[in-house]
Every structure is written in C-alpha cells, then in structure tokens.
Chains A and B, each alone.
Chain A
Amino acid sequence: MRGIESVQRRAGVVFLLPLVVLMLVFVVVPELGTILLSFSEWKGIGAVKGNGLKNFLQLTRDKIFLQALLNTVRVGGVSALVSLVVGLVVAISLQSLGALESVLYRTVIFIPVILPLTIVGLLFAFVFNLETGILNQLLRVLGLGSAARAWLSEPKVAIWSITFVEIWKNTGLPMLMIYASLITIPTSIYEAAHIDGASRLQMIRRISLPLTRPVIRMSLIYLFILGFRTYDLIYIMTKGGPGRLTTTVPVWMVETAYNFNNFGYAASMGVTLAVVILALVGVGGFALRGESYEMS
C-alpha cells in the first residue's frame, strides 16, 4: 500500500511541476517584488530605496485613497453580489426551459462578457447621457421624467451607474458557470423529490443550491476579483471624476504609479486592496460554507 502511495505522490509532483514553474516565474516573483516595493520608494528609474511602513502610514491619511477604497468596495461588492444573484436566478430558470430556447438565452446573456470594454464604456456613456441618453428618454416616455438625471455626474448616482455597467458586463459568467454545474445534477434526484411531493421552490433550496454551492462560491470569488479591479471601464466613462466621485483604488493606483512616478506608494495601495479583497472573500466564503456533496 505504501508503495502505491509513493508512486502516486511521485506522479503528483510531476503533474504539479508545470504549474509550479510557471507560477513561480510569472506570478510569485513579480508579486513578491510588488510587496517589497510597497515598503520602498521607487521612481521608475534608479535605485529602490526602502522606507519601512511610511507608505502605509501615508495611506491612512490619503483622503483620495480612502474615498477610492470606499468606491471600490461599493462597485466590487455590490456588482459581485447582484451579478451572482441574477446569474443564479437566470441559470435556475433556464433549467426548466427547452434545450433550444435555453441555448439562445444563454448565448445572448453571455455576449456582454465577450464585448470589448472600450465599446461597453463608450456605449454606456451615451446610454446615461442626460439629454439624448436612451435611459432618460425611456423614463420620460414612461412618465417618470422626474427620475431622469445626469447618471454619470451626480454625486450620489455616478458610482452606482458604473456598478450597473459592471453588473451588465459580468452577469453572463456566473450564469454560465452555475448552469453548467446545475445540469450535471441527475434528473433522478429531482424525480425522487417530486414523488415525495416537494414543491419547485423546495427543490431549488434542497437540491439545486446545495449541489452547486462550490461553483457559486467560485463565481463569487471571481466576481469579487473582477469588480474590485474595475479600471478600464471607469477610465473610459468618467476618468474617475467628476472630482473624485468615481475614483477606485486601481484608478488612483495607476495614476500614482504612471503619472506621478510613485511606484512604491502605488504598490502599497495594491497590497492594501489585496488584503481588503481577501478579507471580504473570506467573509463571503464563510457565508457560503457547508459540507461538500459527493455525486454518486
């Protein structure tokens, strides 16, 4: 028995090798570099000078960073949760529809994921336009003219408009991931439940959700990562403005690094953001914890 285990273990090490080598060279080393950089001062050219915790202390007093962090958590957190819920609901609804119909819907809902971000940003700038924007025109047609506003310029609204675009762009991913997992659940389980007199809602709660939990958790983590890194979209639509209303950490970080040549300070923002995301993912993962089910 021992012998078999060591053979397996040796095969395992060999199988892991490509991953380990690639990750070490292209991910771990540069990221360790970033972490080191966050404790130093570097102008892009010349020597890297260590300066201890100075960057992090400065961050706590940096008004723009704190505002950006709040914005990031809003965009990232809300867009991830909403995308997940919408994706989940759609995936479950799709399950009850015919094959052809569901392929059609899935494809359409997935298209935004493949659209280039530039066009998404430019397009939504037009959607949100006060005068000619399709959103305000629609509101006026529906008799809700008073709700029409400058979606990307008003202090309380701008960040949520961006969040909406983020949701629009991302929802296809959790939908597809969850759907792919849902259809692997054997129909016999549902049939058995049906015979036991379970309602549709009960089946969703007792069968669909628990069995897809690993995928749901995975999607949530991934949506967090996508949402917290929102950069291009904001840069195209608002450049972080007006004022600093829609500045997120990645936007402020890139500005600090590439416009101010302040790479050390920017790295400390990146590291802080990583810690915050990690903490939130930890909370999310905890909320979705549960024993894993084995399919048999």
Chain B
Amino acid sequence: MKRHLLIGCVVLVLATVCAGALAAQGVALTAVTQFGFKSWDQVWSDTMRAWEKKTGNTVKEESVDWNNHEMLVKTGIVNGNPYDIAFFWPERMVEFTRENMALDLTPYMEANNGAWKKMFNQKLLNLGAVNGHYYSVPIHISGSIMYYNKAIFKKYGITPPVTIDDYIAAAKKLKGTGIALMGAKNGVYFHITRSDLSQSAKMAGVFDDWVAGKVSFTTSPVARNFYVKAAQLFKDPEAWYGGVPGCFNLTADELTSAYIKGKVAMFLDNIVLRGFYTADTKDNDLGITFMPALAPDNISIDGGANGFFIPYNTKHPEQAVSLIKQFGGMDYQMRCWKELGIVGALDGLPVTKEAAAVIKYIDPRDIATLSPELGSEIDRSIMNIALGTSTVDQELDYLEQLRLQAINK
C-alpha cells in the first residue's frame, strides 16, 4: 500500500516536471516587489499585463516581504538565478554595486541623446548613480515624514512640531490625556537618527567630510550634539506610544490600529504610503510634518525613492530594461498619482506641497552607507541609549570603532 503511494507520488512528480519543461516558451521575465495584496496590486499587475501584450513576453511577479527581500535578491544573483528586475531603493544601491551585482544602465540612459534620462526628476535619478554610472531607475519618491491627527492637535492646541524641542513641548501638552504623542513602526525609527546626524554635520559645516567618514564620532561634536539632544526626546516615556522610552517595537498594524483609536497622535512612516493610510484611517486630511529636526531651518531627509534595478547576470537585459520603462512611463505614473496619491519620479508630474518639500530636503548622502555594519549600528544606537542599555559615550566609542574599520577597508 505504502509502496504504491510512493510510486504514485514519484510518477506524479515526474509528470509535472515534464509538463513544466514543455510549457516554457518565449521570454519569461521575473520581477520581485514588496507590493502585495493591497490597492497597489491592481495598478502593478495592469502595468505588467499591458507590457506583456505590447511585447509578447511574459512576466512573473513575486511579492515578498521586507524581511526577506534583500536576502532573496542577493541569493538569486549569487547563485546565478536572479530576478530580471528587482525592487530596491536607489539611494541604497551601493549595497549591490559594491560587489558589482547590478547592471550598469548608463548606456540605456544615454542612448538617443539621453532621451530616457531626460524624462526623470534628475535629483531622484541621481540617487541611484554611483561614480557617475546609473544603476537604478526611480519610480516614486520615498521619504520619511510624520503623519499626524489634525483633530487631536487642534483639541489640545498643538502646532505641528518640527524641532526636537517642539516635539518635547507637544508631548507635555498631551500629558495625562491617555494619548501618546508619537510612534514609529519597527524598522523605520532610524530615519530620525540618520537625518539628524546629517543635519548636525551640515550645521557644523563638515558635511562632505562627515559622509566620507573623515569626522570622528568621539572627538568631534557632530554626533555628540545629536545624541545628547535626541536622548532627551527618546528617553521621554510620555512622548512615545507604549510608554517605554523610545518604544519602537511595534508592527505597522499595531500602530495604525492605535492611531485609528486615537491612542497616538502622530507616527513616522514613508510618504509613499499616504494612500494606504488615508484608506485605512478613513482620514482624508492626514496632517504631514517633518521628523524631529535639530533646528527649524535645517531639515534633512534621508532616503529618496522607490525604484528598480537589474541584476548584472540577468539573462534578458534588453527585455528587463523595456519592462522598467513601462513603470517609468506616464501611464503608470499618472495612475499611481490619481488612484494612490503616490508621487512619481518623472519630470512634469503633479506634485503635492508636502512631496515637493520632501524632494527639496532629501539628501541621500549618509554616513550610514559607509559600511553596512556602521549603518546597522547607527540605526540601533539611539535605542540603546533610550533604553539605558548603553550610554552616549559607549555608543560613540563603538560607532567610532566601526567608522575606523569602514574607512580602513
């Protein structure tokens, strides 16, 4: 009985393998994104189907979650079975270009007198340029902002905060109301650290040296100024949803749920998700302001765009470029704008006031990209201080150690 079952299974497997081999025909591309089931899905799949119809090729689209994304893309490239186009953030392309894992798109950009290149908002396009070569194509702008509940702000007489001091003052106004000032989902809080470190370097007039890793964490005041100031805000249990200093260990859903229930007045997330949040919170008038800054006239936003890149070892580079062009096309970009409120990356698209400000303040140059190890620890440093598991001095010593390692490599 068991043996029959075994033989049956083996036959079934062989049959399916053969059927699979026969079915393959034409050029089949694969794409990996992070946009699964929600409203985005329709726009994406329509765009891909339109391209299939136009070119006669096929695309298989896979949506994977944030946690596994980078690992899957990298493993695919290393084992020689890459996705043909992969979603990634242009400003972080150095993680792939460092080991030459991305296809150089400059020839395509420069063809026909740079016709393709000229279509983009140049600032966004340049996010994905490394040493003068283009490795990534931006499709939407992306930048971290704070969303806030206008009704709560009005009720308690709070004006949208910008500086760290504003935030501390706003938290005081909400004291004892059962409403926390803000929250940040897992894995995005670090945008505050990254942005403010850049600001601090700009204020000290050493930004170029800072991003090149030439400024010390311990002896120069750049980092110390930020950490001492930010620790005040991050250690304040009243400011944070969760009531724990710097409580950031929330899933996106937990935070949205708390926001809907009026338990938290503002939260940090990407501007690209505005459409999601508007739909989820049924609030068509979500307020938008900047992350806590060091000074009001000195705002800097790390990050930049969502985009696609092509692994260097794809088997169909021409088709992959053509598919990306479909996403860079006006049709897709306009639909994103109209249906999802997402600002695209082409020149001449309608832009909201907030999005314009985000583009204005975006600065992709960031010391955290000096080495992934340094980036990872910068991301976690403020939390270690807020939780009291280490002091400002200990964190600075450790980051300095990683900086030296990074520049001596």
Contacts and interface: CB of A to CB of B under 8 A. Distances in A.
Interface of A: 43-46, 63, 122, 125-126, 129-132, 149-150, 152-155, 158, 235-239, 241-245, 254-255, 258-261
Interface residues of B, number: 43
Contacts of B70: 258-259
Query: Which of A46, A235, A243 has the most chain B CB within a 10 Å cutoff?
Result: A243
Interface stretch (B22-30, B247-255, B297-305, B340-348): B247-255
A261 B97 CA distance: 12
Contact of B383 (A131, A150, A152, A241): A241
A45 B80 CA distance: 11
B397 to A, nearest CB: 11
A45 B253 CA distance: 37
25 contacts: A43-B99, A125-B253, A126-B251, A126-B253, A130-B242, A131-B241, A149-B244, A150-B242, A150-B243, A152-B249, A153-B247, A237-B249, A238-B249, A239-B67, A241-B186, A242-B386, A242-B387, A243-B380, A243-B384, A243-B390, A244-B384, A258-B70, A258-B75, A260-B371, A260-B372
Contacts of A44: 74, 78, 99
B242 A153 contact: yes
Contacts of A237: 249, 251
B71 interface: yes
Contacts of B322: none
Query: Which of B74, B187, B241, B387 has the most chain A CB within a 10 Å cutoff?
Result: B387
B242 A125 contact: no
B249 A153 contact: yes
A34 to B, nearest CB: 15
Given A45-B99, A126-B254, A131-B241, A241 B248 contact: yes
B384 to A, nearest CB: 4
Given A125-B254, A258-B74, A45 B67 contact: no
Given A236-B67, A258-B74, A243 B244 contact: no
Contacts of B75: 258
Nearest to A63: B398
B398 A243 contact: no
Given A43-B99, A152-B249, A130 B380 contact: no
Interface of B: 67, 70-71, 74-75, 77-78, 95, 98-101, 186-187, 241-244, 246-251, 253-254, 257-258, 261, 263, 371-373, 376, 380, 383-384, 386-390, 398
B29 to A, nearest CB: 23
B85 to A, nearest CB: 20
Contacts of A239: 67, 186-187
A260 B74 contact: no
B263 A132 contact: yes
B185 to A, nearest CB: 10
A132 B384 contact: no
Contacts of A255: 376
Nearest to A131: B263
Contacts of B380: 241-244
Query: Which of A158, A254, A261 has the most chain B CB within a 10 Å cutoff?
Result: A261
A59 B72 CA distance: 26
A118 to B, nearest CB: 8
B249 A155 contact: no
Contacts of A130: 241-244, 247
Contact of B101 (A45, A238, A242): A45
A178 to B, nearest CB: 26
B99 A261 contact: yes
A126 B258 CA distance: 11
A149 B373 CA distance: 32
Nearest to B377: A64
Given A122-B253, A258-B71, A260-B372, A245 B244 contact: no
